[in-house]
Amino acid sequence: MGAGSWGTTFAQVLCDAGTPATVWCRRPELAAAINGRHENPDYLPGIPLPPALTATADPAAALADADLVVLAVPAQTLRDNLTGWTCLLPPGALLVSLMKGIELGTCDRMSQVIAQVAGTTPDRIAVVSGPNLAHEIATRQFAATVVACTDEGTAGQLQKACHAGYFRPYTNPDVIGCELGGAVKNVIALAVGIAVGMGLGDNTRATLITRGLAETTRLGAALGADEHTFAGLAGLGDLVATCSSGLSRNRTFGERLGQGMRLDEVLASTTQTAEGVKSSQSVLELARRHGVEMPITEVIAAVLQGALEVGQAAVLLASRSAKPERYGV
């Protein structure tokens, strides 16, 4: 449900793994292009899609008799979209989240939104998270990911459904940790992008990645996540990929800010969602509710709210008081 770059790519992965998939498109003309040209010209131009992948603009047709319902809409639209689809969901279908964000206002993770809206138990909700830059996977470059579900059997079901020759899924019962890793890394990638845009080097980038991982782990521990998750694909792996690649929407967004573009100019220049832009405030609010210090997130949230200039952000992070380093501190 969602024909953006990652939704379309994951549908391709399913097809390549022997799981035929239908993509729901918001616009009928995009569904027609996918069906007629076997290509998503808006998000993955020039990349051929498998014949087993079909598309429709009718949510009822997309959801009919589905065993897996993969949700791939922007995080802040999930609640409204899913509310409209609830009556169409097949009983017993596994609901899968590809989204990496924290809901504004509620500070809910995506799996929590799904449970509330669809009335589904945790054993029927799964999360896919990892270093999964869509364009690389769409061209069938090797990648690995984590499929997280509190139920081992359900996680195994999804693992089998998306295990393609170039896409290796690992299971993990830590849904909280996998979701937090995916959401907070977008905020850290914004910070790295700003630093790169300002002309700062690899030392700065490495510092932000490492300290970003520390504050993600602190938040995860406060929320009951397994801290080992953050050393894996859904934590460090996703963080490194998103902070290092020019394909990353969040890093690219940050770079443009660091180069001097105004926030409204950057927003106007992109057609795809940089989830960290909106989730930064939700992540910060979640941290405050649990008494967790997240200095990088706090600075980025202030920049995006217009309360702090980009140049001041770098100075503020660099001028923090010195302290002992211990993992997670």
- Active-site choice (100, 185, 278, 323): 185
Contacts of 219 (CB under 8 A, 6+ apart): 180, 184, 283, 286, 287, 290, 292, 294
In the annotation, is 185 catalytic? yes
Q: How many residues are given for the chain?
A: 329
Residue found under tokens 């937090």: 180
- Which pair of structure tokens corresponds to residue 304? 């995006």
C-alpha to C-alpha distance for 307 and 295, rounded to whole angstroms:
15
Q: How far is CA 154 from CA 67, 305, 312, in A?
A: 12, 40, 47
C-alpha to C-alpha distance for 107 and 283, rounded to whole angstroms:
7
Helix, strand, or coil (residue 172): strand
Residue found under tokens 């782990």: 217
C-alpha to C-alpha distance for 8 and 42, rounded to whole angstroms:
11
Distance of CA 144 to the CA centre of its chain: 15
C-alpha to C-alpha distance for 301 and 295, rounded to whole angstroms:
10
Torsion angle, alpha carbons of 299, 302, 304, 307, to 10: -140
Q: How big, in percent rounded to 5, are the helix, strand and coil portions of the chain? A: 55, 10, 35
Q: Are 170 and 145 in contact (CB under 8 A)?
A: yes
Kind plus residue range of the DSSP H or E element containing 144? strand 143-148
C-alpha to C-alpha distance for 314 and 191, rounded to whole angstroms:
9
**Catalytic machinery residues:** 185
